[in-house]
Amino acid sequence: MDPYIASESRYEKMQYRRCGKSGIKLPFLSLGLWHNFGDNDDLKNARTILRTAFDNGITHFDLANNYGPPYGSAEMNFGKFFQEDFKKYRDELIISTKAGWDMWPGPYGNFGSRKYLIASLDQSLKRMGLDYVDIFYHHRPDPETPLEETMGALDQIVRQGKALYVGISQYNAEDTARAAEILKNQGTPFLIHQPRYNMMDRWVEDGLLDTLEKVGIGSIVFSPLEQGILTSKYLHGIPEGSRAATEGSYLDRSQITDKVVKQIQELNKIAIARNQSLAQMAVAWLLKDARVTSVLVGVSKVSQLEDNIEAIKNTSFAQEELQKIDSILNN
């Protein structure tokens, strides 16, 4: 590919929102590298997606140690793209990674021990060719390791200069409040929570968003399109070649019920009335709440990314629209 020079107008196309009570602003949309950046993927396409994202003001790239497949390959491939395309823009980027899921054999390659988290980040930095990441997350709660140990590891990572900020993912409201108190007492910059959240999966509304607002932490939400259900793809059932039709994918055929199809058809009517696609409305619906700092999108095509970017042009909803959406999803 030709040498990359970022668009001079990149900051004219994106909106940014302050992350909790920190000094950091994140773009309304961030790019997740969970899928489409592994060794089995089209890496020319992956590189084009990254370039298009930054050209449109998406400054945040989100990774984890086990993204691929195989594990580590998304970080390795991103590291190559970073060196070739983005190194000169390092100070304009927020780069994050995580640890918390199974990564290597034995008792020290999973969950939330100090040994695992610090070793994993050291490996991640080597794969990406970075001196530090902007955000390092504990990827999921650990029911066995004391929270003080896990948060102490995050604190140590910041003090070692390996991360500027720390975050957590998928913690409930109570454990988030406990983590915030521990990190506050240590003087650790606790920036953000990354929960799963979309129109159909709204668990964060039962206390977590209120907790984040109270303690001054931002949020970046993943799976905004419910693994593709909140798009036009399944408006008429399960098409061949779709994720739901592929055995072993994260979206199971059994999830696309007649009820779900009817719901998304009704939601799509609202989206059309708003001059948005269903996917655009689903993203906009999340951004209507200022407690959602950024929406994490994962795309396999540049056209999907561009479609998502269009969503930020209209993130306001009439009360009647919100009531109708709730009515559709609650029936």
CA dist., res. 111 & res. 198, Å (int) = 25
Token pair, residue 47, equals: 């590189």
- How do strand 16-18 and strand 25-27 relate by DSSP bridges? antiparallel
Fold category of 10-225+286-312 in CATH:
TIM Barrel (3.20.20)
Beta strands in the chain (DSSP E): 16-18, 25-27, 29-32, 60-62, 94-99, 133-138, 163-169, 190-194, 218-221, 294-297
pTM of the full structure: 0.95
Q: What does the pLDDT look like over 228-262, one tens digit per residue?
A: 899 988 887 666 555 554 655 556 566 778 898 89
Residue range 288-329, pLDDT digits in tens: 999 999 999 999 999 999 999 999 999 999 999 999 999 999
What is the structure's pLDDT at 237?
A: 64
Task: Report yes or no: 103 and 66 within 8 Å, Cβ to Cβ.
Answer: yes
* Helix pair 147-159, 114-128: axis angle to 10 deg: 40
Give the pLDDT score at 245: 47
Centre a 10 Å sphere on the Cβ of residue 208 and count the other Cβ atoms it contains: 23
Q: Output the tens digit of pLDDT for each of the chain's 331 residues.
A: 899 999 999 999 899 999 999 999 999 999 999 999 999 999 999 999 999 999 999 999 999 999 999 999 999 999 999 999 999 999 999 999 999 999 999 999 999 999 999 999 999 999 999 999 999 999 999 999 999 999 999 999 999 999 999 999 999 999 999 999 999 999 999 999 999 999 999 999 999 999 999 999 999 999 999 988 999 888 876 665 555 546 555 565 667 788 988 999 999 999 999 999 999 999 999 999 999 999 999 999 999 999 999 999 999 999 999 999 999 999 8
Q: What are the boundaries of each domain within the chain?
A: 10-225+286-312
Quickly count: other Cβ atoms within 10 Å of residue 92's Cβ.
Answer: 13
- Whole-angstrom distance, CA of residue 186 vs CA of residue 41: 41
Positive or negative torsion for Cα 38, 40, 44, 46? negative
Amino acid residing at 211 = T
Looking up tokens 């993130």, which residue turns up?
Answer: 315
